[in-house]
Each structure stands twice: as structure tokens, then as C-alpha cells.
Amino acid sequence: MTDDNSADGFSRRALIGAAAMGTFIAATATAQEKTKRPEKIAIIGTGNVGSNLGKVWAAIGHTVVYGSRNPESDKVKELVKETSNGATAVSQAEAAKGIEIVLLAAPSQAALEVVAALGDVSGKILIDAMNVMSFKDGKLVEPDDPLGLAARIQAAAPNAYVVKAFNATNALVMSGPQKITGGPVTIPIAGGSPEARTRVSALTTAIGFDVLDMGGTEALKLVEHLGRIYVAYSFTHRPQRLEFNFRTWSA
């Protein structure tokens, strides 16, 4: 048992408190059938996360521009063909130009370098879907970082609106949460701008997820903790997987 005055006790109380203050948003059939506001979304990274989210967002009416280090590669060209609604692929720096919503789905160790390469991202919503993982003696451990990746991205791009999301689920699940897992799946999010969180929540519920809005920048690292819990369970219990299914209630 952990003493409530310890660092672990503080983290647990902070997590519980943030969840209690959060807003729960459920996916609806209507939202999944037709998006109310078609968006143009730049997706930086064409790995499993970027590819799956790009395909499902395009399928419900959003326009996707993939940002890749190798946009002319056969792999990326095939991805563009598999993505509907006029998807395109360009360089990472070109992808974000003139687009308000940017999904960051690159390797986490390159995150700050990628953000810098995007140029001026003032006024853009940057969705941070990345997890920083540290290992010691073959085990997943908490990274030695008092700020966290999302906070560092926000510091590097102070005039952008960073929203942490999609880091606490599996890329495969993004293609259909209910179908893949057999039940509801909740995506925790956090970010300093309520409007940005609302737009990201709409993109999330539209593809079948529930959303737990954890709040502002103070909750960014809490969402990163949830991502590491997700990965740690999958790492130690393969092939069994974990999905979050949060609900809120009033005391």
C-alpha cells in the first residue's frame, strides 16, 4: 500500500481528481455515420497510427494530407490509394501548411525535431498521439522527465494548441473500436484550449470512441501516464490487450 503523502499517492490523487473534473463524451451512431464538420487534417507520420486514423477519418468525409519523409515511396503511394476522399501525401513540412488540425504520429524521440520542421504552427491544433517509453532491465519504467512530451511540444510551439489524444489505445483499434474489441473504448484527452479539445473530441467520437476530457495543460502528463499503463499491460500480458472504458458519476 502506498502512503497518500508519497509521490505515488500524489499522482494517484491527481489522476482521480482530474478524472472527476473531466467531461465524458460518448460516441453516437449519428456521429459515426456522418461527420457534422468536415475537416482538413494533416497527418505527420505514416506508420500504423497515422495510417489507420487517416483511413477512418477520410471514410467519414474528412480530407487527409499525409506528411511523410518519403512521400514518393511505394508504401506511401499505396496508403494514399487506400485512403478515400482525395487523400494526398507530401513532405512533412508541406503537409501542415494551410491546415488547422495536425496529428503528430511520428516516433516520439523525433517529436520536437518534427514540430520544428513544420515551421510556424501558430493557431494550429497539434494532436499528440505519441508515447515516450523507457526500459530498464527489460522492464517498462517511468521516463525521467518532469514535464512530459506534450508539455515540451507546447513549449516548443507556444502559439499552437496541443491536445494529447490517441496515445492510450492500439492502432488496430482505431479502425473500429467496437468491432475490434467487442465493447466501448474511451480515449482520454487533455489540452490547454477548450475549443481545441472540443474539435478533437468530435473527431474521436465520430470514429466510434468515447472521450474522457481530462482538462487543461495540467492534465497532459496524466494522459501520458494512462498511455504508459496501456503499453505496460500489453507488454507484460501478451497476447492479451487492455482497453480503457471509463464512465463518470456524481457523488
| pLDDT tens profile 178-231 | 999 999 999 999 999 999 999 999 999 999 999 999 999 999 999 999 999 999
- Here the cell at position 248 is 463518470
Does position 44 have pLDDT exceeding 50, yes or no?
yes
* Burial annotation 139-175 (CB, 10 A radius, 16+ → b, else e): ebeeeeeeebbbbbbbebbeebbbbbbbbbbbbebbb
Distances (CA, A) of 93 to 44, 143, 214: 9, 29, 30
Q: What is the pLDDT of residue 22?
A: 66
User: Picking from 16-25, 54-63, 82-91, 129-138, which range would have the lowest pLDDT averaged per residue?
Assistant: 16-25
pLDDT at 143 over 90: no
Q: What is the pTM of this model?
A: 0.87
Domains of the chain: 22-236 (3.40.50.720)
Residue type, 22: G
Specify whether the CB–CB gap between 219 and 163 falls below 8 A.
Answer: no
Query: Which pLDDT value is given to residue 5?
Result: 39
The pLDDT > 70 percentage for the chain reads 87
